[in-house]
Amino acid sequence: MYEAPVDDYKFVLDEVIGLDKLMSATGHDEISIDLVEAVLSEAGKLAADVIAPLNHPGDQTGATRHDDASVTTPAGFADAFAAMAEGGWTSMEAREEFGGQQLPMVLTTAVNEFWQAANMAFALCHLLTQGQIYALQKSASAEHQNLFIPPMVEGRWTGTMNLTEPQSGTDLASIKTKAVKNGDHYLITGQKIYITYGEHDMAENIVHLVLARTEDAPPGIKGISVFIVPKFLPNDDGSLGVANDLRCLSIEKKLGIKASPTAVMQYGENGGAIGYLVGAENQGLDIMFGMMNHARLAVGLQGLSISDRAYQQARAYAFDRVQGTPLEQKPGAPIVHHPDVLRTLATMKAEIEAMRALMMLGAASMDLAHDCDSDDPRATRANLLIPIIKGWMTERALDVTSQAVQVHGGMGFIEETGAAQHFRDARILPIYEGTTAIQANDLVFRKTLRDNGAAVTTLFDEIEAEMQILADHADDNAAANARQMISAVGTAREATAHILAAANDRRRPAVNGVNYLMMLGRLCGGWMMARAGGTAASRLSDTSADPAFMQAKMTTSRVFMTHHLPQVQALAAIIMTGDNAVLGMDAEWL
């Protein structure tokens, strides 16, 4: 069973993020917490009743490629996607002019957590389609926007991203796919791999965004262009025309997300697939990077989502499973009363709540930064948070889903329970859409060293100022949280100073990058949990609040401060003392 965390989102948005103030600042005054609750409740029903039951069976059967190169998704997937479209859920993010609802990211991100937690392999199709809609809205011509975006908004067509080739992964400079101009279009030839939902039976057409090189393109990343390459060429009236010259060669056999067809796509076996240029020639990388923050936030969200799904299953099992007699309990008490199981579930819950609050802070930052210039402080804050969210949440999902298996004991290792699936599904998250090391390099070199630490120092100042107020005016527990956070900020400043001091030896900040990212993830998670604990404490005397709910929030906040926040100190120590040790290792000694 999956239960969408509607009450938790209502608390985070209303009490921690400040929904009314955010909506006023972003021009969405019509969106109230009551409307948000209604939307989330309906989305939660679809996620729990329709999408979640397909998760485990889909993992067992997987997607199937047939001899005619068609691909069939697991039973129920096509109907579930149709239900999403019929309910208007595929239109939430897009602009109104294309039939979308143009809702703020804090709301669409919350809804997307439900899809991803219910069935991550299924929800990937929607995630990729929304990413393409965003890219086309930003960079495509008006003609192509009006032709390709509305059917994707309606859920009749879906979208993909085609970047990777057999010889070209992270290093896109080595892309070989070719694009030859032919009148008002281009002929595309080449092979792409790891194409999520590159072929499937859930929509009538699939619109591929393909990176390729034109004939006279300069070498390296400066010579990459991006093209719309649809499975079926649309007629002028939007109806489907002839099949394009592209084919799914195979689908990958994977560790996780098995129900999602990950395709090897071949373009131009019979003269060239027809593609339409997006933007100008040689602007492909800039266009793709223009949607990177949205894509990386979405993958960070997947880390939160799969963590919560695994936690929910582990919690249910712990309340049902009887094994031994827990200390100071009567025989027959379930294993949740064993102190170590209680610790495991409590620390999982605390980290998930920190992830969710930080995710909403990131989405709110994206809403505030919408249409801002790149040097605007709101854009700077959003850009700083994105690698932290993507890197920290996806890495921590590996541990949370592993702990969920541990709670199940031996049954967690048996595929029948489904606990192992969450562990396997989570493993891709620190890899795709930029590995953790890439997020760390972005954070260290672009977001910290480039401005000599200005953006991260502003973040530290803001956290410290807020925590000082909390320390002076809150109840004892909330004040204790705030004092711990002030100490952690001081530690993070020292670690940041160490990285800045090593700027002239780029290998030293690079070797510290992942630890630096994880340190800031813990710090920002603690910031949100201190805020949540303080807010919950202030609401205890409010007769409209549920005292048990608020007490739980206060306790979860303390769990984070005592079990997770101390990692800031540990990681800072590694950053400040461990770089020379690693760099002293000769690769030949490994």
475 in the same domain as 452:
yes
130 burial via Cβ count (<10 Å: 0-12, 13-18, 19+): buried
* 259 lies in some domain: yes
456 in the same domain as 571:
yes
Cα 181 versus chain centre, distance? 36
| Mean pLDDT rounded to a whole number for the chain | 96
- pLDDT score recorded for residue 228: 98
* 309 lies in some domain: yes
476 in the same domain as 333:
no
**Element of type H or E holding 118:** helix 105-118
Other residues' Cβ atoms within 10 Å of the Cβ of residue 539 = 18
Contact yes or no for 376/389 (Cβ under 8 A): no
Cα–Cα distance for residue pair 586/575, rounded to 1 Å: 20
Select from 417, 434, 451 the last residue of a domain: 434
* Domain that includes residue 490, residue range: 436-590
- pLDDT score recorded for residue 187: 98
3-state secondary structure of 158: strand
- pLDDT score recorded for residue 541: 83
Which CA distances in Å does 3 have to 9, 24, 118, 212, 358?
12, 30, 9, 43, 21
Q: What angle do the packed helices 547-563 and 339-369 form, to 10 degrees?
A: 100
- The pairing of strands 240-243 and 232-234 is antiparallel
The residues that bridge with 182 in the sheet, in sequence order, are 185
Residue in 192, 201, 196 with CA at minimum distance from that of residue 64? 201
443 in the same domain as 373:
no
- Residue 237 backbone phi and psi in degrees, to 5: -85, 5
Residue 69 has pLDDT above 80, yes or no: yes
Domain total of the chain: 3
Q: For residue range 437-475, list pLDDT tens digits in order.
A: 999 999 999 999 999 999 999 999 999 999 999 999 878
- pLDDT score recorded for residue 249: 98
Tell how many helices (H) and how many strands (E) occur in the chain.
20, 12
Residue 324 has pLDDT above 80, yes or no: yes
- The pairing of strands 205-214 and 157-162 is parallel
User: CA torsion 333→334→337→340, rounded to 10°?
Assistant: 140
Look-up of token digits 């709910």: 549
The residues that bridge with 185 in the sheet, in sequence order, are 182
Cβ contacts of 249 within 8 Å, gap of 6 or more: 69, 191, 263, 264, 265, 266
* 369 lies in some domain: yes
457 in the same domain as 412:
no
Residue in 116, 353, 143, 354 with CA at minimum distance from that of residue 228? 143
3-state secondary structure of 423: helix
Cα–Cα distance for residue pair 484/526, rounded to 1 Å: 9
Cα 184 versus chain centre, distance? 37
Q: Is the pTM of this model over 0.95?
A: yes
* 59 lies in some domain: yes
Cα 62 versus chain centre, distance? 23
pLDDT confidence of 290, banded at 50, 70, 90? confident
Residue in 197, 265, 190, 263 with CA at minimum distance from that of residue 225? 190
Cβ contacts of 372 within 8 Å, gap of 6 or more: 378, 379
DSSP state of 127: H
336 in the same domain as 306:
yes
306 in the same domain as 225:
no
- pLDDT score recorded for residue 377: 96
Q: For residue range 334-385, list pLDDT tens digits in order.
A: 999 999 999 999 999 999 999 999 999 999 999 999 989 989 999 999 999 9
Cα 417 versus chain centre, distance? 25
What's the CATH number where 337 sits? 1.20.140.10
76 in the same domain as 46:
yes
306 in the same domain as 210:
no
DSSP state of 74: P
Q: Which of 15, 154, 353, 433 is catalytic?
A: 433
450 in the same domain as 421:
no
User: CA torsion 481→483→488→491, rounded to 10°?
Assistant: -170
Cα–Cα distance for residue pair 418/120, rounded to 1 Å: 13
- The pairing of strands 178-182 and 205-214 is parallel
Look-up of token digits 């709110």: 364
Select from 419, 434, 449 the last residue of a domain: 434
Least confident of 182-191, 279-288, 339-348, 356-365: 279-288
Cα–Cα distance for residue pair 194/184, rounded to 1 Å: 29
What's the CATH number where 70 sits? 2.40.110.20
pLDDT confidence of 13, banded at 50, 70, 90? very high
- pLDDT score recorded for residue 172: 85
> Once rounded to an integer, what is the mean pLDDT over residues 203-226?
95
* 1 lies in some domain: no
Cα–Cα distance for residue pair 230/244, rounded to 1 Å: 7
> Once rounded to an integer, what is the mean pLDDT over residues 128-153?
96
Q: For residue range 399-433, list pLDDT tens digits in order.
A: 999 999 999 999 999 999 999 999 999 999 999 99
Which CA distances in Å does 66 have to 12, 180, 200, 329?
46, 31, 11, 56
Cα–Cα distance for residue pair 409/393, rounded to 1 Å: 24
Cα–Cα distance for residue pair 129/133, rounded to 1 Å: 6
- Residue 249 backbone phi and psi in degrees, to 5: -75, -35
251 in the same domain as 197:
yes
Contact yes or no for 225/283 (Cβ under 8 A): yes
- Residue 225 backbone phi and psi in degrees, to 5: -120, 165
Which CA distances in Å does 180 have to 222, 230, 272, 295?
17, 17, 9, 29
401 in the same domain as 370:
yes
3-state secondary structure of 181: strand
Select from 392, 413, 434 the last residue of a domain: 434
Cα 338 versus chain centre, distance? 33
Q: What is the distance between the terminal CA atoms of the chain, rounded to a whole angstrom?
A: 46
The residues that bridge with 188 in the sheet, in sequence order, are 179, 273
**Element of type H or E holding 11:** helix 6-11
Cα–Cα distance for residue pair 412/394, rounded to 1 Å: 21
Residue 143 annotated to the active site: no
